Amino acid sequence: LVLIQRSKVLCHIPTLLSSTSPTHPTTPTQHQSILQAITSSPPNSLLLKEAHATFNSQVLSGKPLDSPAQKYATTLTQTSERLATQVTILRKVTKDQEAILNKRRKRQSGKRAVLQGHFILSTAEIRDKILAAELETASKKASQQRTRKRKRQETPSEDEEDPIELSSDSEMSDSSDCIVVAQC
């Protein structure tokens, strides 16, 4: 046989007919719909179940896989790798977010820093350290209050003129019409 036309060669190969109806799709549109079940985002669960059942039946039959089944297998492995990568990334993001949310801000000064690691608080030296930390905190608060600027009292803007001034201006405009200049 010379491979000139595929259709002629395929016609000469005998096909094995089974007594049961095939569970895998036979039309190209069904093959495409099954491949789309995997590649769609999010995948359609009914089409995905049908595609898995078809693929599993072909694998269990022991016969060589046809082209659509091979494409399905490669697409399935690519999809599983992609999903595994997404799961890994999402786990890392979740872990980072939990670490940020659960992290307590550690105090570097003040009473908490003095008391850190001490369980008995009745000793004189701890009391002295606490008093010193309280005085330091009070002095910081006092200096912050002194450095705050007081709000200025609002002065009327130049655009907003008093009505008294407006009335005097109108009187001046009337008197400005006849100005008398005296010579000395």
pLDDT tens digit sequence for 37-60: 667 777 777 877 888 888 888 888
Tell me, what DSSP letter sits at residue 121?
Answer: -
User: What is the band of 96 on the pLDDT scale with cuts at 50, 70, 90?
Assistant: very high
Q: What is each CA distance from 14 to 2, 17, 26, 181, in whole angstroms?
A: 17, 9, 17, 129
Contact assessment for residue 124 and residue 131, using Cβ atoms and an 8 Å cutoff: no
**14, 33, 30: which is closest to 22 by C-alpha?**
30
Which residue type is seen at 106? K
Residue 177 has pLDDT above 50, yes or no: yes
90 versus 62: the higher-pLDDT residue is: 90
Contact assessment for residue 113 and residue 107, using Cβ atoms and an 8 Å cutoff: yes
Residues above pLDDT 90, as percent of the chain: 7
Residue 65 has pLDDT above 70, yes or no: yes
Residue 174 has pLDDT above 80, yes or no: no
CA 118 to chain centroid, in Å, comes to 42
Instruction: Please state, in angstroms and rounded to a whole number, the distance separating the CA atoms of residues 11 and 131.
Output: 100
What integer best gives the mean pLDDT of the chain?
Answer: 72
User: What does residue 42 show for φ and ψ, rounded to 5 degrees?
Assistant: -75, 150
Q: What's the confidence (pLDDT) of residue 26?
A: 47
142 versus 10: the higher-pLDDT residue is: 142
Residue 161 has pLDDT above 70, yes or no: no
Taking the whole predicted model, whether its pTM rises above 0.75 is answered as: no
